[in-house]
Amino acid sequence: MDIVETDLGDRILQLKGKDSKPTHPIGPVSHLNVENIAKSVNEAMNTDVPAEPKFIMEIIRDDVLTRLEKANIGISGANAVASEDGSLVFVHNEGNISLISLMKIHIIVVGIDKFVRTIEDTISIAKLETIYATKRPK
């Protein structure tokens, strides 16, 4: 089984190894500098990517997309679930959940704390999570 993180920051941590931990919900590798990230990517992927964010992002994105083409199952979490109609709310910025949701099997894992009554309530949850993650209201 090959488990691949699709979020850029989480994938970088995955490439660094099992002892790597995220430092922030929306900036999991904010504690690393670009040289450290390039070194980890080069070691894990047997490449020679320069310490330039654009090139690092491109090589990781291409690798993730290639792996997703071969994947049978996608697993993601939802930010909120409306119990009245079963609507799910996903907040993402890289398009990764959209790709996962198109797979033959898409497993969504949510805790009971993500269930609210209405779709309007799910929007409130998404707004609160944005404030928590960024410390700024949107």
C-alpha 101: how far from chain center: 13
Q: Catalogue the E-assigned strands of 21-122.
A: 73-77, 80-82, 87-89, 105-109, 115-116
Q: What is the average pLDDT across 3-8? A: 91
Rounded CA separation 81/90 (Å): 9
- Pairing relation of β-strands 115-116 and 80-82? parallel
For residue range 30-86, list pLDDT tens digits in order.
899 999 999 999 999 999 999 999 999 999 999 999 999 999 999 999 999 999 999
pTM for the whole structure: 0.82
